[in-house]
Amino acid sequence: MTKLWMVRHGPTHAKSMVGWSDIPADLSDTAAIARLRDFLPDAPVVSSDLIRATATADALRPEHRLPNDQSLREINFGDWELRTFGDVEAEDPDRIRAYWETPGHIAPPKGESWNAVRKRVDDAIDVHLLGDYKHLIVVAHFGVILTQVQRALGIGAYEAFSHRINNLSVTVIDTSDDNWTAEQINHNP
């Protein structure tokens, strides 16, 4: 039984699809970081290995850091990486619309489908993280957090995408007895 405190990393200010690119977070809002730190339990912290997540995790609980986990990376957007929706839509309107409107097996060229992201994150959570801790802080990305919201709420991917996950927000998921529940989604302390 583990309670997951899922934190979205600090903002990158990018106006494009940022998945596996290693873009730093803007952590200059020290008041927001302090509020977030005060809200979170005194618990171990694991993060994606991308710098925007590792720097955020280090700002929150540097004394309780677990090794970074590459499986907690954002969606791999492949050939769409660092491109805007409009640019990709101009070249491949059917695929990009299907990717967001009917997420599942559709993937960007050389990228990852929603189902692949969900499997990767579920495996990382189940195999490496659950059961070892009563509380665990997971600093990750929009897509990673939404996979676990989808899981906790028992909803489809499209419904999961309807949830906002702001930078430096917390989503709390209770994994007790294989009956996952989302206690808070996109809470901004």
What is the pLDDT at residue 132? 79
80 alpha-carbon distance from chain centroid: 18
Q: Is the dihedral of CA 152, 156, 157, 160 positive or negative?
A: negative
Q: What integer pLDDT is reported at residue 127 of this predicted model?
A: 81
Q: Is the pLDDT of residue 1 over 90?
A: no
Specify the pTM.
0.95
Distance, CA of 137 to CA of 169 (rounded, Å): 12
pLDDT in tens, 163-183: 999 999 999 999 986 789 999
pLDDT at residue 130, as a whole number = 80
69-88 residue pLDDT tens: 999 999 999 999 999 999 99
Average pLDDT for the chain: 94
Overall size of the chain counted in residues: 189
Burial class (CB in 10 A: 0-12, 13-18, 19+), 13: exposed
Task: With cut-offs at 50, 70 and 90, classify the pLDDT of residue 131.
Answer: confident
Given a cut of 80, is residue 129 above it in pLDDT? no
One-letter identity of residue 26: D
The gap between the terminal CA atoms of the chain, to the nearest Å, is 24
Residue 14: half-sphere exposure toward Cβ, Cα within 13 Å = 17
Reported confidence tier of residue 119, pLDDT bands at 50, 70, 90: very high
